[in-house]
Structure 1
Amino acid sequence: MANVSVAAEWQLLYNRYYRRPELYTMRWKNIDLSRNKVDCSPFGGPIAVIRDDSKIVQLYSESAVRKLRIFTSSGVLISDTVWKNPGGRLIGMSWTEDQTLICIVQDGTVYRYNIHAELIEPNVTLGKECFEQNVVECVFWGNGVVIQHELEVSTKQAIFVDSSISDTIRTCIVLGNPRAAMKVKNEFKVSEKRWYWLKVFALATIRDWEALEKFSKEKRPPIGYRPFVEACVDADEKGEALKYIPKLADLRERAEAYARIGMAKEAADAASQAKDGELLGRLKLTFQQNAAASSLFDTLRDRLSFQGVS
Structure 2
Amino acid sequence: MYYNVESVNLKSKHEINEVKDFLEKFELKYEDVDYSVVIKDKGEIIATCSKKDNILKCFAVDENYQGLGLSNNLISKVTEKLFLENKYHSFIFTKPESQNIFEMLGYKNIFTTDKVSLLESGNKNINKSLDNLKLEYKINENESYASIVMNCNPFTLGHRYLIERASKENKNVIVFVVEEDKSVFPFNVRYKLIKEGIKDLKNVLIVPAGQYIISSATFPNYFLKKNDNSLKEYTKLDCNIFGKYFAPKFNINKRYVGSEPHCEVTNIYNNTMKEVLPKYNVEVEIIERKEVLEDAISASRVRSLLKENNIKDVEKLVPKSTMDFLLSEEGEVVINKL
Q: Provide TM-score, normalisation by structure 1.
A: 0.23
Higher RCO (CA-CA < 8 Å; seq separation 6+): 2
* Structure number, greater radius of gyration: 1
Q: Provide TM-score, normalisation by structure 2.
A: 0.22
